[in-house]
A and B are shown apart, each in its own frame.
Chain A
Amino acid sequence: KAIVARLGYSLVYKGVVNSSVLCICCPQQQQQVGLCHLCNGTVQNGTAVSQFCSASAGLIDGRCCLLRKENIRDADYIIGLDLSNCSLSRVEDLQDAFSATTIDLSLNPIVNLDDSLFEGFIQLANLILPANLVCPGGNASWDKVKVKGETHFCEGQKDICNQTGYLSLNCPENSLCVPYGPGFFQCSCVDAFRGYKCLREGEFPIIQVFGPLAGSTVLVSILLWLTQRRKAISV
């Protein structure tokens, strides 16, 4: 029953999952269901996530803060994730929380983070990491970076596309740079361009072209048959 489809927000079914998994190296399916229930407990009061959650009127579920969308049944998407003190040694895939604004990974014995872990996290404004880790995308991708004791705070994602001299971000023709997470960017097609490499522009007017063509073919065929072939003798 654990069907998760990523259609711009993640659908999280409240299912009972084995919560004694300490290491996030499980098959995808369980993980999708279980990100909020990855470790025991729930969001503690007074943490950054809980403060943020109450401020945005979200729902606490396990370790996640969910924002319920009224129009869509059973559709929640994660706006906050608190995985602190989970005894995680590796973090592999947090993609279900891509819409999160606040993520807390502190107090975990994580050695290092994957480069692409936070790809797509365009809403992420507050990232709390153990002190030994660097902010993803480097310090230049964040407005404020501070280290307080055991934790590393990365606040305020910078728009990489606006920065000069960071990288030579030349998106190919017909596409524009859009930010895609801390230190990430995408080249998405501008305006009416679409398709592979943004080569195609506009919608081909099929009816306007082929309607008259079919009509005139029929007309001309009939006309010619009447004037030419009707009197033909078989040779």
Chain B
Amino acid sequence: MSSPCCGFLAQYTHHHLVAFLLTFFSYVLLHASRKTFSNVKVSISAQWTPSVQNASSPAFSPRETWEKNNLFADSDEATLFLGVLDTIFLFSYAVGLYMSGVIGDRMNLRYVLSFGLCGSAIVEFVFGTLTEWLQFYNIYLYCGLWVLNGLLQSAVWPCVVAVMGNWFGKSGRGFVFGLWSACASVGNILGAFLASSVLKYGYEYAFLVTSVLQFAGGVVVFFGLLTSPKEVGLCLESETSLSPVERDADSHRPLMSDEEDEEEEGEEEGSEEVCDGGYYTIQQGDEEPRETPKAIGFCQAFCLPGVLPYSLAYACLKLVNYSFFFWLPFYLSRNFGWKEAQADRLSVWYDVGGIIGGTIQGLISDCMGKRAPVLAVSLLLAMGALVGYSHSPPDQVVNAALLATTGFFIGGPSNMISSAISADLGRQEALRGSQEALATVTGIVDGTGSIGAAAGQYLVSLIESKLGWMCVFYFFIVMTGGSIVFILPLIVTEIRAMWRDRQARTHQL
């Protein structure tokens, strides 16, 4: 097996780089605005409530400065509502993901992407900035806006994964996607820094800055993004041009097989230079013109091999990942008594671990040609890391190191499933290159993941209030184990294939 690990950068043009960067930064901006909401929660709940005074002392005067806003009676109720907003957002995000993937495969990806970015930016502006400038606070308005925000934001992820899948073929996909899927973590870090530097002027300015940035990103994407090499006449390396003879054995094949790479290298004569979709063929002759790829139906996409197990595994994994992202500063400040600013800065280490994990594990799985075994090993080690982290001493350095390790082992598979593997699933042999399924499949995988994450938000707070933080960590460990269980059939298949290859090679020698 010749591994295409080295020298693969030569095949990429500046178009590839721009596509990478544009999709990377659009998701960075999206996640930054999501993180902004998490970061300004304290300020928003202060804005919604009157000042707290013990019963005996009179209320502070002047009333306009201290007592005017009465949306919630105290900060506990406000916190509850903020949690409700999070859940509403995640559920509408999940619903939107199922729909947006389908839409993205049928419509121009560029339009959907810019529409999602700009629309979501406008909604966030209205939610955070306009309500504050107009001094209009209303529960139903907030809920409605956040539902709309979830639906609009859900358009972004399937489109960016689809664009990346169009531009980057299978050979370097693991590494490139691993690096690229760092966008969510980079967005978290950017959002944290932006929010903390602007927060002193008022939380409405944090929303203003991130939503204007996001809108600008949508504009740039609209003018600069090429959704696939076909738009400029470039060809993706042939990956769907297997001869029909091999097709029958496809259903028993693992998702990524080495035979295909070997096939590619044998076809140097140029007889297989047909591009996806057949808009640009080097080969003359009797090749029948291929039709425009049809978009796949939702149910068909769901029934593609590998989609269901990976979706369920991702539901468990995203629950753990998102709960960490959401609850970590709260846990750090409650459990160890650290200040919120310190907790925020510490929680960045989890994202850093996730970035490194996604990249390295993507690279390893590329070199191996298999994804599921890499995932399995990483998830097993993640369970150990979670046990270790739950017993972390109150030392900040040790805590940060354990956090980075946990992020490496959990964030890595999470990033891989949501990006590289979704791209694999959406472009697998079973589709025979005649159907556009990438965005739909990505939408399904991430939608299921988001439902898991949404349920998790509520469960984590429930478990924590009844049973304490240790049980929350046990819950995470169980979830991680659950995700291994879901992808077990795929692991078994891929390991068997690897074993078969190794035996075949030793027989050849």
Complex CA gap A222/B279 in Å reads: 28
* Mask of A130-144 contacts with B, CB within 8 angstroms, 1/0: 000000000000000
Q: Are B47 and A187 in contact (CB under 8 A)?
A: no
Q: Are A231 and B65 in contact (CB under 8 A)?
A: no
Complex CA gap A214/B15 in Å reads: 24
**Which interface class (under 10, 10 to 19, 20 to 34, 35 or more) fits B?**
35 or more
Q: Are A217 and B201 in contact (CB under 8 A)?
A: no
Q: Are B231 and A233 in contact (CB under 8 A)?
A: yes
Known contacts A227-B18, A229-B224; A200 and B202 CB within 8 A of each other? yes
Interface status of B68 (Cβ within 8 A of chain A): yes
Q: Which of B5-57 contact A (CB under 8 A)?
A: 14-15, 18, 22, 43, 46-47, 51, 57
Interface status of A191 (Cβ within 8 A of chain B): no
Shortest CB-to-CB span from A167 to chain B, Å, is 7
Complex CA gap A228/B228 in Å reads: 11
Interface status of B492 (Cβ within 8 A of chain A): no
* Mask of A214-235 contacts with B, CB within 8 angstroms, 1/0: 1001001111110111011111
List the A side residues contacting B68 at CB < 8 Å: 196
Interface status of B60 (Cβ within 8 A of chain A): yes
Complex CA gap A220/B221 in Å reads: 10
Q: Are A224 and B220 in contact (CB under 8 A)?
A: yes
Known contacts A200-B201, A201-B201, A228-B18; A172 and B220 CB within 8 A of each other? no
Overall SS of chain B's interface: helix
Q: Which of A178-225 contact B (CB under 8 A)?
A: 180, 184-189, 195-204, 209-210, 213-214, 217, 220-225
Interface status of A22 (Cβ within 8 A of chain B): no
The residue of chain B having its C-beta at the shortest distance from the C-beta of A205 within the complex is B201
Complex CA gap A180/B62 in Å reads: 10
Q: Are A229 and B223 in contact (CB under 8 A)?
A: yes
Q: Are A221 and B219 in contact (CB under 8 A)?
A: yes
Interface status of A26 (Cβ within 8 A of chain B): no
Instruction: For A201, give its contact among B66, B200, B223 (CB under 8 Å).
Output: B200
Shortest CB-to-CB span from A83 to chain B, Å, is 26
The residue of chain A having its C-beta at the shortest distance from the C-beta of B230 within the complex is A235
Most chain-B CB neighbours within 10 Å: which of A185, A214, A221, A222?
Answer: A221
Cross-chain pair count, CB within 8 angstroms: 102
Known contacts A172-B51, A221-B219; A228 and B225 CB within 8 A of each other? yes
Interface status of B300 (Cβ within 8 A of chain A): no
Q: Are B205 and A204 in contact (CB under 8 A)?
A: yes
* Mask of A155-169 contacts with B, CB within 8 angstroms, 1/0: 000000000000110
Shortest CB-to-CB span from A161 to chain B, Å, is 13
The residue of chain B having its C-beta at the shortest distance from the C-beta of A168 within the complex is B57
List the A side residues contacting B61 at CB < 8 Å: 119, 180, 184-187
Shortest CB-to-CB span from A224 to chain B, Å, is 3
Q: Are A224 and B46 in contact (CB under 8 A)?
A: no
Instruction: For B232, give its contact among A184, A223, A232 (CB under 8 Å).
Output: A232
Complex CA gap A168/B66 in Å reads: 18
Instruction: For B66, give its contact among A184, A197, A223 (CB under 8 Å).
Output: A197
The residue of chain A having its C-beta at the shortest distance from the C-beta of B279 within the complex is A235
Q: Are B69 and A196 in contact (CB under 8 A)?
A: yes
Interface status of B226 (Cβ within 8 A of chain A): yes
Interface status of B212 (Cβ within 8 A of chain A): yes
Complex CA gap A222/B224 in Å reads: 8
Q: Are A220 and B224 in contact (CB under 8 A)?
A: yes
List the A side residues contacting B431 at CB < 8 Å: none
List the A side residues contacting B231 at CB < 8 Å: 232-235
Q: Are B66 and A172 in contact (CB under 8 A)?
A: yes
Q: Which of A39-84 contact B (CB under 8 A)?
A: none
The residue of chain B having its C-beta at the shortest distance from the C-beta of A200 within the complex is B202
Known contacts A201-B201, A210-B212; A229 and B226 CB within 8 A of each other? yes
Interface status of B198 (Cβ within 8 A of chain A): yes
Complex CA gap A221/B201 in Å reads: 30
Q: Are B57 and A197 in contact (CB under 8 A)?
A: no
List the B side residues contacting A199 at CB < 8 Å: 43, 46-47, 202
List the A side residues contacting B43 at CB < 8 Å: 199
Q: Are A204 and B46 in contact (CB under 8 A)?
A: no
Complex CA gap A188/B62 in Å reads: 8
List the B side residues contacting A17 at CB < 8 Å: none
Interface status of A3 (Cβ within 8 A of chain B): no
List the B side residues contacting A196 at CB < 8 Å: 46-47, 64-65, 68-69
* Mask of B56-92 contacts with A, CB within 8 angstroms, 1/0: 0100111011101100000000000000000000000
The residue of chain A having its C-beta at the shortest distance from the C-beta of B200 within the complex is A201
Interface status of A171 (Cβ within 8 A of chain B): yes
Q: Are A220 and B220 in contact (CB under 8 A)?
A: yes
Q: Which of B181-240 contact A (CB under 8 A)?
A: 198, 200-202, 205, 209, 212-213, 216, 219-220, 222-228, 230-233
Shortest CB-to-CB span from B279 to chain A, Å, is 7
Q: Would you mind naming 10 contact pairs between A and B with Cβ atoms under 8 Å apart? A: A168-B57, A184-B61, A196-B64, A196-B68, A196-B69, A197-B51, A213-B216, A228-B15, A233-B233, A235-B227
- CB-based closest 7 A-B pairs: A224-B224, A204-B201, A221-B223, A217-B216, A200-B202, A225-B223, A232-B231
Given contacts A213-B213, A224-B225, list 6 more A-B pairs with CB under 8 A.
Answer: A175-B65, A188-B65, A197-B51, A213-B216, A224-B223, A225-B223
The interface of chain A, by Cβ under 8 A from chain B, is 119, 167-168, 171-172, 175, 180, 184-189, 195-204, 209-210, 213-214, 217, 220-225, 227-229, 231-235
The interface of chain B, by Cβ under 8 A from chain A, is 14-15, 18, 22, 43, 46-47, 51, 57, 60-62, 64-66, 68-69, 198, 200-202, 205, 209, 212-213, 216, 219-220, 222-228, 230-233, 279
